[in-house]
Amino acid sequence: MNEMTMPGRQIGRSLPRLEARDKVTGRTEYVHNLRLPGMLYGKIFRSTVAHGRIRNIDVTAARAHAGVAHVITGEDVRKVIPRPFYGPAFHDQPVLALDKVHYVGEPVAVVLASDPYVADEAVQLISAEYDELPAVFDEVEAMSSQAVVHDELKPAGTFPDLKHLQGRRNTNVALDFHLRRGDVDKAFATADRVFEHTFRTQQVLHLPLEPFVSVAEPTGSGITIHTASQSPSFVRIEIARLLGWPENRVRVKVPYLGGGFGAKLYIKLEAMVTALALLVQRPVKVALTMEEQFYTLTKHASTFRIKSAVNKDGRITARHCEVWWNGGAYADIGPRITQKSGFTAPGPYDIDNVSIDSYSLYTNLPPAGALRGFGIPQLVWAYESHADMIARELALDPVEFRRRNILREGRPQATGTLMRDAAIEAVLERLAERLDWNKSFDRGSGTVRRGRGLGIGFKASISPTTSIAIVNVAADGSATLYCSTVDMGQGSDTANAQVVAEVLDVAAESVRIVHPDTDVTPYDMATLGSRSMFHMGNAVRLAAQDAKAKLAALAAELGLPPGSNIPLPELFRRKYGMQAGNVIGIGSYVPTYESPNHDTGQTSNATPYWMIGGTAVEIEVDTETGHVRIIRIINVVDAGKPINPKIVEDQISGAAVMQLGFTMQEKMLFEGGQVTNASLADYKIPSILDIPPMISEAVDAQQHDGPFGAKGVGESGTFALSPAIANAIEDAVGVRVTELPITAEAVYRALRTAANDPLEDA
Amino acid sequence: MNEMTMPGRQIGRSLPRLEARDKVTGRTEYVHNLRLPGMLYGKIFRSTVAHGRIRNIDVTAARAHAGVAHVITGEDVRKVIPRPFYGPAFHDQPVLALDKVHYVGEPVAVVLASDPYVADEAVQLISAEYDELPAVFDEVEAMSSQAVVHDELKPAGTFPDLKHLQGRRNTNVALDFHLRRGDVDKAFATADRVFEHTFRTQQVLHLPLEPFVSVAEPTGSGITIHTASQSPSFVRIEIARLLGWPENRVRVKVPYLGGGFGAKLYIKLEAMVTALALLVQRPVKVALTMEEQFYTLTKHASTFRIKSAVNKDGRITARHCEVWWNGGAYADIGPRITQKSGFTAPGPYDIDNVSIDSYSLYTNLPPAGALRGFGIPQLVWAYESHADMIARELALDPVEFRRRNILREGRPQATGTLMRDAAIEAVLERLAERLDWNKSFDRGSGTVRRGRGLGIGFKASISPTTSIAIVNVAADGSATLYCSTVDMGQGSDTANAQVVAEVLDVAAESVRIVHPDTDVTPYDMATLGSRSMFHMGNAVRLAAQDAKAKLAALAAELGLPPGSNIPLPELFRRKYGMQAGNVIGIGSYVPTYESPNHDTGQTSNATPYWMIGGTAVEIEVDTETGHVRIIRIINVVDAGKPINPKIVEDQISGAAVMQLGFTMQEKMLFEGGQVTNASLADYKIPSILDIPPMISEAVDAQQHDGPFGAKGVGESGTFALSPAIANAIEDAVGVRVTELPITAEAVYRALRTAANDPLEDA
């Protein structure tokens, strides 16, 4: 091993992931593998009705089943958590259903046994009776439905901009976000042309290959929770709140995750295992099956009505956006999506007059949460389809139409925030260049036609959020990073190691990472929204710089001249008389932020940075079957200056493949609120054979306040794939699809329909 | 729970131990309970000769035994550790014997199996042949014996004062420490009286009720060692050195210990399990039996020849000390004891002319190491017996004799270091007071006689040593301490929590402790030598103060006036916009120190602080049987200002009980180097019935630079018990015992011997 003696520039190195060898040799630690002495397994009995009052839960037979230790219901939970309702935005979700159930699949009771198969058998012996209540499933209907999911809104109090909803009754609107800029009415009244279209997206799933799993272990000092979570710090604080304990009695440990994609945020099984473990005073594990993921968290289905005023010269003068987000039965982080993504609904365009109305709706479906893009792919689907439809109507080249309208550096976005470090134009031009946009394109003839299309999207980062890191330099100069960023496959361990290594001038391979453990790794808001590279990256950079400054101070204390470059082991030996000691650096990072005005949505500082993602595709459509074959995909993003170019490329590709599934094939099917394709046999995600040739790249860019110029990239590949394909389909065969997924059947139907009005299509 | 709202003075509280409930409910984590998936158990085949060249090790039958996974010998170890020799002072001890064996019981081979009983069976099938070599067992004989234990001395290089021994051959002297102060020869030549006596102590054992145990687990990034160790930081650094790895690839985790007493320091089983785990690429556990502790580490037997020049008025004018320490086959920390305790050999007396020669000897016995007192009880046994013998000869009251000679504040100790914060006089006077020394004492008549006696001792702390701590304050104000101090029953978790709590003005019960884990808890030299309360206590204090200063800075940053006393949760909320963040304080403590002059042992700064311990006893001697009954024991110490008075009292009593066993009953018996009483059936430690009424107290004192005035106390109760009893025996029946243990047989023999010359008695 020569790793300590290999200093050099660590940023921009496509270092293989630090954990790669462990992963391929099966040594990686996952919560699914954890077994503790005396541990019980919990299996969940779930609601069979979409909305109903619980009349009776009969657990007699289950309790009598040989090998069953306990059967727990919502009323039992109250013994250890008097008010057992959790959630990041609203305290609306019970640990186990209390009084009412709000969707099919909601957890109602748990059987505990030493043998998980025994627990599973006993679950089949439970029965429940409900007084059914009217249910609502569609997000637009939910606006005015007589079926009201929750009697009263209960904001968590965490976000000040939800406080006005406290106690609101008889509504399914969990948040209404409004933005007003300029004079939209006047602009529409004086416009040369007005275009209005409606677009819809479907419910889909995160489907990490590691399903949800949590283990809780009562200890003398409190409780330790081992969980596959993207947000260990949130889990600690929320469990402490539920129990009425100080934070330091709740320990949350997170090893590697087998994917997250936004599903494993906030509380999922953690409150349940905590309540169970405290009730029975034994370690309890609840590990969901792949099928149970369908009952836990979905991506928001959405309806987006977008209306634009456009002048003859192709300049957009006004845009009105109405977005309805189908939040399902519990709000989860939906209201934040409604707002935080809502304010980018007009797209990366320079429009003087903008109005946005964005609604988060409760419905009687499984809860919807953040899913790789945090609402942005739903919005881009609409505004980039809309863009091409306008361009086509105006007989403008779609790239040229975008060039005339895109937001350029220094111009105000819809919130009024001036754009900075947002390479929108560079992304657009790079896509056009990669696509040879200016060269002639053979659209084919006969039954198979070819088309090409593109789209660009952008996303703000969630703000303000905090990340803290500790860098500990041992007496031989080897460094360890303590941080609560969860490596769920995105390569954060490796990138953070590179940041430490760059500052300390050592090889990134030599940096050791301590995984999230709230007793030791400091606070991090969560691993979500592509925030980690920027926020935690900055905290890690600051921690390493703090350590470096302390090493320099130590050298000065020992009388060494500045820049004396004494080897670290020798420095420690001189200070401590032997190989002893540590130098510990701390980095805390929270970007500045200004809350948007409640009425107008205006703010001078809406986000610490912008993510830009664009996709271009070439496709073939079989006009006899509607089958669409993707010939190639080109993804171009602005990720600032990549810390690890290969990981950035993989992140872009991975996001695009995920979005490809959501675009072409994935859809949760419901009948009366009951999902009918809750298995990977029926719900098909992309296989390796579904992935077309793909180019994924980052434009040459720099985030001025990012760590070494970097910013997030985990979601950018999802933004614009869907409209790029729809635009290419229209380019190929002249029909417009306005609803996802774009199945062969949908294209076939569109081809066979004479009228091509997207509003009818919706 | 109301613990967060209960601020108050936390120092001086006799808070019950934080882990008490876990311990009595069986929840405490110990390494013996740890089982890892795929783990193999190792059982050790040991040498049957005291000194010999290995001719052959036959493992054929063991390897063929059903269920045996591997049989490993010293040559195998070389495949993963090319130079497999470890030790804190000398790199002399092999992981498994190589070429030679140096004592009976030395590990020669290990059998690995999934079932520890199978491994044990297979060990019986191993045989080895040796070419025996001459052996030496006595420490004084070892000075000049033709039997040389090691061909060549190999100092570890850690301690500069051992460097001159590098490469020295044909000697059993592992360290010779010399101190010269004043003109000893002249003082003896002009003295009114000269007294010379020789005292001996025996080999005894630490015998923690949790025997040695270590587990090593190969990981992708290195190795994790779970071990019952008092020195996790040392283990990390030493294992890294053996493997040639950076520190941060070696993770050492230590939960609670079931006692340590100095046995579980440095490397014990850790190198063995590391080598085994790396060889077989599976987790490996080696857990010793109670019997195997007899083959692992002992307390130094010693011979101390002490000679004093005394004037008519009872003032000691010169003292010459020769001490021989029986280090056994491997040096362990013996050379440090030779030096660090050696320099206090003249006792806590103000003597102008002093010479000390202190020798660490290799012999063919099990290695000797630090045992609660680090050599001090052996020295005090001699100098406090000697004191009474002089007083008796001079017909001086023993207390009065001591009063005339004790070291008072500001006077130079033998090293030249001026005494500070050393309540020698207060301890002496308190003992006399507690014993009603000035009142008449009924010595009885007939066969049962009564006597009383006392002794006082002192100890320097090991120096320079470093402790580092991290205090992490969560967003709700709850605090967590990361520190590598090992709580092995001494109550360090509780005391450290009190220090944090005092600084942060919260309840000590609310402070959470993260146990040693070298990946997260910073460096600490080790939990030894009563150093933790002072060194780590100071580091913890500094870390808490650093956190407090950062909280104040945060308040100032938010525009709050100084002393605004804003609740911490509100402070964090204002900074981070929600319950988020941490404030992290770091404390690093290393006291100043000046190495003693190599030739004279003189230094102006020999120790950061002094520990003083005195014991007084009343006893009865049955003159017909020699049986000694202890009527009562009074222990008085200077522990500075106790952080937790109850824990201090328990520490004093516990130490005294341990020393009572060493004084009255415990002794390892050897035949040809073979221990013949290696079981708790034959080697008796004090039971509850052996413990007499006891008073343990600390005088009112203050260590000026201790944390809140505190200093260490873990060993002080051991110092003076043995000579107090011997002095009381002479007081009762007029005979002098000069060798430990003071069995009934020894007293009986002394009573029946007319001549009472201690030199003949040795």
What are the CA-CA distances from residue A9 to residues A6, A459, A472 (Å)? 10, 30, 20
> Chain B closest CA to A246's CA: distance in Å?
6
Is B579's CB within 8 Å of A479's CB? no
Interface contacts A/B by beta carbons within 8 Å = 163
**For residue range B621-662, what is the model confidence (pLDDT) as tens digits?**
999 999 999 999 999 999 999 999 999 999 999 999 999 999
Q: Which residue has the tokens 């740890």?
A: B34
CA B453, CA B113: separation in Å to the nearest integer? 55
Of the listed ranges A256-260, A682-686, B165-169, the least confidently predicted one is B165-169
Nearest CA in chain A to B238: A579
Q: Is the pLDDT of residue A757 over 80?
A: no
Q: What is the pLDDT of residue B163?
A: 83
Which of A33, A251, A523 to probe by mutation at the B interface, max B CB count within 10 Å?
A: A523
How far away is chain A from the Cα of B519, in angstroms, using its nearest Cα? 7
- Name the nearest CA neighbour of A365 among A465, A286, A298: A298
- Map residue A140 onto helix, strand or coil: helix
* Alpha-carbon gap, residue A100 to A87, rounded angstroms: 17
Give me chain B's average pLDDT, please.
Answer: 95
Matching CATH number, B298-462+597-761, of 3.40.50.1970, 3.40.50.300, 3.50.50.60, 3.30.365.10: 3.30.365.10
Q: Where residue A2 falls among pLDDT bands split at 50, 70, 90? A: very low
pLDDT in tens, A4-25: 334 458 999 999 999 999 999 8
- Residue B169 CB neighbours (<10 A): 9
- pLDDT bin (cut points 50, 70, 90) of residue B755 is very low
Is there a contact between A221 and B512 if contact means CB atoms under 8 Å apart? yes
Residue the block writes with tokens 């954060």: A492
Cα B394 from Cα B403, distance rounded (Å): 15
Under 8 Å between Cβ of A92 and A40: no
pLDDT of residue A633: 98
- Whether the link from the prior residue into A741 is cis, omega within 30° of 0, is yes
Strands B100-101 and B467-474: unpaired
pLDDT of res. B468: 98
Question: What does the pLDDT read at residue A756?
Answer: 52
Q: Is there a shared CATH topology between the B3-30+465-589 domain and the B34-133+231-261 domain? A: no
- The DSSP code sequence of A369-427 is E--SSTTHHHHHHHHHHHHHHHHHHTT--HHHHHHHHB--TTPBPTTSPBP-S--HHHH
Distances A185 to A308, A600, B528, B702 between C-alpha atoms, Å? 11, 15, 79, 80
pLDDT at A464: 86
Residue B6 clears pLDDT 50, i.e. is over it: no
Q: Flag if A519 and B517 touch (Cβ within 8 Å).
A: no
- pLDDT-derived band at B756 (thresholds 50, 70, 90) equals low
CA distance B646 to B632: 20
DSSP-derived letter for residue B398 is H
Within 8 A of A464 by CB-CB distance, chain B residues are 576-577
Q: Which residue has the tokens 């996709």?
A: A615
Contacts of residues B171-174 at CB distance under 8 Å and 24 or more positions apart, as own/partner, are: B172/B136, B172/B142, B172/B143, B172/B145, B172/B148, B172/B361, B172/B362, B172/B363, B173/B143, B173/B359, B173/B360, B173/B361, B173/B362, B174/B89, B174/B90, B174/B327, B174/B331, B174/B334, B174/B335, B174/B338, B174/B360, B174/B361, B174/B362
Question: Where along chain A do its domains lie?
Answer: 40-133+208-289, 298-407+416-462+597-761, 465-589
Please report the beta strands in A159-247, taking only residues with DSSP state E, as ranges in sequence order.
173-181, 193-201, 213-218, 223-227
Determine, for residues A590 and B579 on separate chains, whether the beta-carbon distance falls below 8 Å.
Answer: no
Among A207, A172, A532, A100, smallest CA distance to A334 is for: A172
Given this structure, which CATH class describes domain B34-133+231-261? alpha beta
Rounded to 10 degrees, what is the CA torsion of A569, A571, A576, A577?
A: 80
pLDDT for B338 beyond 70:
yes
CA geometry: angle at A568 spanning A564 and A570, to 5°? 85
pLDDT per residue over B228-283, tens digit each?
999 999 999 999 999 999 999 999 999 999 999 999 999 999 999 999 999 999 99
pLDDT of residue A164: 85
User: Pick from A506, A500, A618: which is nearest to A568 by CA?
Assistant: A506
Out of A292, A502, A649, A715, the active site residue is A715
CATH of domain A298-407+416-462+597-761: 3.30.365.10
Q: What is the tens place of the pLDDT at every residue in B283-335? A: 999 999 999 999 999 999 999 999 999 999 999 999 999 999 999 999 999 99
Burial class of residue A120 (count of CB atoms within 10 Å of its CB; 0-12, 13-18, 19+) = middle
Between the CA of residue B415 and those of A265, B302, B613, what are the distances in Å? 63, 22, 20
Do β-strands B173-181 and A467-474 pair in parallel, antiparallel, or remain unpaired? unpaired
Nearest chain B alpha carbon to A1:
B245
Per-residue pLDDT, A577:
87
Question: pLDDT digits over A429-468, tens only?
Answer: 999 999 999 999 999 999 999 999 999 999 999 888 999 9
The dotted CATH code for A40-133+208-289 is: 3.90.1170.50
Q: Of B223, B523, B574, B583, which to mutate for an interface test with A (greatest number of A Cβ within 10 Å)?
A: B523
- The ipTM of this complex is 0.92
Contact A514 B519 (CB under 8 A): yes
Mean pLDDT of B459-466: 91
Peptide bond into B366 cis (omega under 30): no
**C-alpha–C-alpha distance, residues A756 and B217, integer Å:** 65
CA distances from A118 to A13, A66, A122, B34, B588 (A): 51, 8, 6, 27, 53
Under the banding of pLDDT at 50, 70 and 90, the label for residue B116 is: very high
Closest chain B residue by Cα to residue A20? B220
Q: Report the pLDDT value the prediction gives residue B467, as an integer from 0 to 100.
A: 97
Q: Which of A407, A413, A758, A346 is nearest to A607 (CA)?
A: A413
CB-CB contact of B475 with B447 (8 Å): no
pLDDT of B277: 98
Reported as a single tens digit per residue, the pLDDT across B354-363 is 999 999 999 9
Helix, strand, coil percentages (3-state) for chain B, rounded to 5, are 30, 25, 45
* Cβ-Cβ contacts under 8 Å, A589 against chain B: none
H-helix or E-strand spanning residue A113: strand A107-113
Average pLDDT over every residue of B135-155 = 96
In tens, the pLDDT along A605-635 reads 999 999 999 999 999 999 999 999 999 999 9
Q: What is the mean pLDDT of chain A?
A: 95
Cis peptide before B741 (omega within 30 of 0): yes
Rounded average pLDDT over B420-430? 98
Q: Select from B219, B466, B493, B571 the residue whose CB has the most chain A CBs within 10 Å, as the one to mutate to test that interface.
A: B466
Instruction: Find the CB nearest B523 among A22, A222, A581.
Output: A581
**Chain B, nearest residue to A220 by Cα:** B22
Partner residue facing B475 (CB), from A27, A479, A523: A523
Residue of A nearest to B479 (CA): A248
Q: Give SS3 for A171.
A: coil
Question: Cβ–Cβ contacts within 10 Å for residue B209, how many?
Answer: 10
| Tens digit of each residue's pLDDT (9 = 90 or more) over A344-392 | 999 999 999 999 999 999 999 999 999 999 999 999 999 999 999 999 9
Catalytic residue check, A715 = yes
Q: Which of A248, A466, A520 sits opposite B474 (nearest CB)?
A: A248
Q: Which fold has domain A465-589?
A: Aldehyde Oxidoreductase; domain 4 (3.30.365)
Between A37, A222, A522, which is nearest B582 by CB? A522
Q: Among the residues of B107-231, which ranges form H helices? A: 116-123, 139-142, 184-189
Strand-by-strand arrangement of the A250-253 sheet: A68-73, A107-113, A40-46, A284-287, A213-218, A223-227, A250-253
Tens digit of each residue's pLDDT (9 = 90 or more) over A313-340: 999 999 999 999 999 999 999 998 888 8
Work out whether the CA dihedral A650, A656, A658, A661 comes out positive or negative: negative
Task: Chain A: give the shortest CA distance to residue B476, in Å.
Answer: 7
Which secondary-structure segment (H or E) carries A277? helix A270-280
Catalytic member of B697, B715, B730, B739 = B715
Rg (CA), chain B: 27
A593 contacts in chain B (CB < 8 Å): 577
Predicted local confidence at residue B38, as pLDDT: 93
Asked if residue A84 has pLDDT above 90, the reply is: yes
Per-residue pLDDT tens over the stretch B699-734: 999 999 999 999 999 999 999 999 999 999 999 999
H runs (alpha helix) in A558-689: 568-576, 645-664
For the segment(s) B3-30+465-589, the CATH number from 1.10.357.10, 3.10.20.30, 1.20.1250.20, 3.30.365.10 is 3.30.365.10
3-state secondary structure of A8: coil
Burial class (CB in 10 A: 0-12, 13-18, 19+), B394: middle
